[in-house]
Amino acid sequence: MRRMLELEHGFRVVDVHARLEPDEGRRQREGLGDPERLEREMHQAGVVRSVVFPSARQGSYLKANNAVARMSVGRPFVAVARVNGARDPADTPAAKLRNLRVRRQDHHTSPADIEQYAYDDRFVGFKLHPARDGLPDQEVLRALETVGLPAIVHGGRGFPPAAVEATLLSYDFPVVLAHFGGYPLDRTLTERSIDLLDRSSQLYLDTSFVRFRDPLERAIMEHPDRVLFGSGTPNVHPNVAVMEVLTLDVPEDAMRKVFSNNPGRVFDALAPAGDG
C-alpha cells in the first residue's frame, strides 16, 4: 500500500480527537486503530501529540480506558477516560419518562470512577458519547464539575447542540464539542454550535469530521480562541485533517491557535512543555 507523503508545514500541531482500539480482534480492519499506525500517521502529518480514547463497546469502559492509558506510555499520546451513563439523551417525551425511572448500574460510570480517573495522572480528561453510551446522571456530572477536567463530547444528530446546552453547559468544566456538534455532516447543527459559543464561555469546538469550509472559517474568525484541531483518526488520516485547516482562508496566527495554542490551554498536557 502506498504511504501518504509527509506534510511539510511550519506549525506545531496537536490533535484532540484520536481513537484507539486496544483489542486487536475488535479493529475494523488490520492496523486500523492500533498505536503503531497512529504514531506513524501522526509523524507523517506533523502532529506532535494526540488525545486518545477507546472505541465504543458494551458494558464498562474501565478495562478499555486502562488499556488505552497503557498503550500511551512512551508514545506521543495522552489518554482521556471514556464514560457512560444510564440516561437517554434524546429530547423526547418517551426519553424523559424513561429517565425518571432509570438508575445507574454497575457497568455505568460512577462519581467515584470520575474521581479515580481525575487523580490518575495517566488521564487528562474525559470522553462522552451520549447517543452511543448514554448520558451520565447528575451526580456524575457534578463529579465532573468538581474535578474540573475537560470533556470531549460527541455532538451531532444523536446529541444536538440544544441538548449539550441543556444538560452539560450549566456545569463548570470545559466542554470540547466534537465535530462542531454536527456529526454526520449536518451543516445546520454545525452553525448552531458556533452560535452557542456566544452563550457559553466553557464551550470549545473540535474540527474532526467538519468537511464544510465556511463554518470552519466563520468559527475561527469569530472565536479564534475556541476552536481546537481534531483529526478524527483512524477514520480520517491526520494528513487530510491537517490539510483541511491549512487550506482555510484565515490568518496564520489563527491557524497557530487552532493547531496548538488553544488545545494547550484546554489540556495542559498538550502545551509545548509536554512534547519532550
Q: Can you give the pTM of this predicted structure?
A: 0.94
Residue of higher predicted confidence among 204 and 274: 204
Q: Is the per-residue pLDDT at 208 higher than 60?
A: yes
What is the tens place of the pLDDT at every residue in 176-193?
999 999 999 999 999 999
**Cβ contacts of 65-68, under 8 Å, gap ≥ 24:** 65/117, 65/123, 67/22, 67/23, 68/20, 68/22
Q: Is the per-residue pLDDT at 159 higher than 80?
A: yes
b/e code 190-225 from CB counts within 10 Å (16+ = b): bbbbbebbeebeebbbbbbbbebeebbeebbeebbe
CB atoms within 10 A of CB 139: 11
What is the tens place of the pLDDT at every residue in 107-147?
999 999 999 999 999 999 999 999 999 999 999 999 999 99
pLDDT for residue 2: 47
How does the average pLDDT of the chain come out, rounded?
A: 94
User: How many Å apart are CA 81 and CA 62, to the nearest integer?
Assistant: 8
pLDDT for residue 32: 75
| Under 8 Å between Cβ of 102 and 86 | yes
* pLDDT above 90: percentage of residues in the chain: 87
For residue 149, the SS3 value is coil
